[in-house]
Amino acid sequence: MSISKVGGKMKILYMTMMYPVPGCPQKGVFCHEQVKALIHEGVEVDVIVPLPFYDDEYETDTWIFEGVKIRYIKYFKIPGTIGFQYIGKYLYLALKKAKIDFKKYDILHADAPLPAGDAIRRISKEYHIPYVIHGHGLDVFFSNSYREAKNCKKITEICIKVYEEADAVAGVSQKVLNCIKQRVDISSKGYVIYNGVDTEKFLPIEHENKKLELISIGNLIPLKGHKYTILAIKKLVEAGYDNVHLRIFGRGEQETELVQLVQKIKMENYVQFMGYVQYEQVAKALQMSDIFILPSYYEALGCVYLEAMACGIPVIGCKENGIDEIIKDGEDGYLIQGKSVESIVESIKKMLENRRYKVMGVQARKHVEEKYSWRSSAQSLIKLYRNIIG
């Protein structure tokens, strides 16, 4: 019998590919923040981060980061999609070789169906320990990422099996759970566990800008919708709203294209590319801004919206994405149709009326404090754990 079942701490094995490494401490920081919150709530958590054997990102076996001990385990994986459906099995074998004492855990927690989920599923069967699969993205069966791969069908079948056999399935939004429900009946075991935000790190500060400072933070890839934000700035300026300035933080495959677009439409004085930003600098960048815009049209949730709201600035996000479960349209931000330049323009105009963005920013901070701290997220997850332990 485990300690938790006789009144001690609940013990969780938390396995994820999305977790900080020394060279990139902001990688998967949302998982790390959740683990810290769980520990703060009295849960004992061991973190395992699987790495392909050829990954030289970090060679040491363990690392203690902000009080959390992380163990890195290398497993066999061929680069690319060849044999991808087997990586859960390969990770399982690597875990067995590592001689981990699985019997001490009450719950096994994996962040995705492959490789962690399938490995956890096999361990669960062997040791009779319940397991949770936690979906952080919309491609819940990898059927989009690997749709061109010959083994896509087999990959999807493994993912389905992992969800079917799980004792509970968590999603960072109802949108994520709905994606899973399209192929697997999780009606009796699906839980929405929203990500949170550190409201002590991300908080408002008094500032007054000479221009309306707009900010966007996200990878420079098509689905983030940066192109539509840039075109919206062009329309605002043409309409006489020329006292605006947009800073875009991020790097990605679309960077050259977006820079050229700004040059083509002669918006160099209004749009500034800031490049990659360290996570510890994100709060400062948000605190000095007035409105956050990220018209991403394929988003499971988006922690950066919560971080912006926590800093007391209203946000603009897309309908029919995870964030539309959080933004109160017209109160602490606006929800727009994806790929709609006009919607972005109209939303900014509304916020400018009588400096309405100031009032909306106060509401945004209040909303996040009430419902979306990391403590709230951890408490929801603990409730899930207790439900499946019985």
Beta bridge partners of 335: 317
* Residue-wise pLDDT tens digits, 92-132: 999 999 999 999 999 999 999 999 999 999 999 999 999 99
Model pLDDT for residues 220-277, shown as the tens digit of each residue:
999 999 999 999 999 999 999 999 999 999 999 999 999 999 999 999 999 999 999 8
Please report which residue ranges of the chain form alpha helices under DSSP H: 29-40, 87-97, 118-127, 152-165, 174-181, 226-238, 255-264, 279-287, 303-310, 341-352, 356-371, 374-389
Tell me if the bond preceding 115 is cis, omega within 30° of 0. yes
* Mean pLDDT score of the chain: 95
Token pair in block for residue 64: 């203690």
DSSP state of 210: S
pLDDT category of residue 58 using cuts at 50, 70 and 90:
low
8-state DSSP, 6: G
Report domain 3-196+374-389's class. alpha beta
Mean pLDDT confidence for 285-310: 97
Residue 357: band (very low, low, confident or very high) from pLDDT cuts 50, 70, 90: very high
**Angle separating helix axes 303-310 and 356-371, nearest 10 degrees:** 110
Is the Cβ–Cβ distance between 50 and 68 less than 8 Å? no
Beta bridge partners of 13: 46, 108
How far apart are the C-alpha atoms of 296 and 302, rounded to whole Å? 9
> Quick one: pLDDT band at residue 55, thresholds 50, 70, 90?
confident
User: Tokens representing 85?
Assistant: 């459906």
Q: Do 3-196+374-389 and 212-371 fold alike per CATH?
A: yes
What is the residue extent of each domain of the chain? 3-196+374-389, 212-371
Q: 212-371: which CATH number, 3.40.50.2000, 3.30.420.10, 3.10.20.30, 1.20.1530.20?
A: 3.40.50.2000
**Mean pLDDT confidence for 208-212:** 95
Split at pLDDT 50, 70, 90, the class of 3 is very low
Provide CB contacts within 8 A for 179, sequence distance 6+: 135, 138, 140
Taking 80 as the threshold, does the pLDDT of residue 6 lie above it?
A: no
Residue with tokens 């994820």: 16
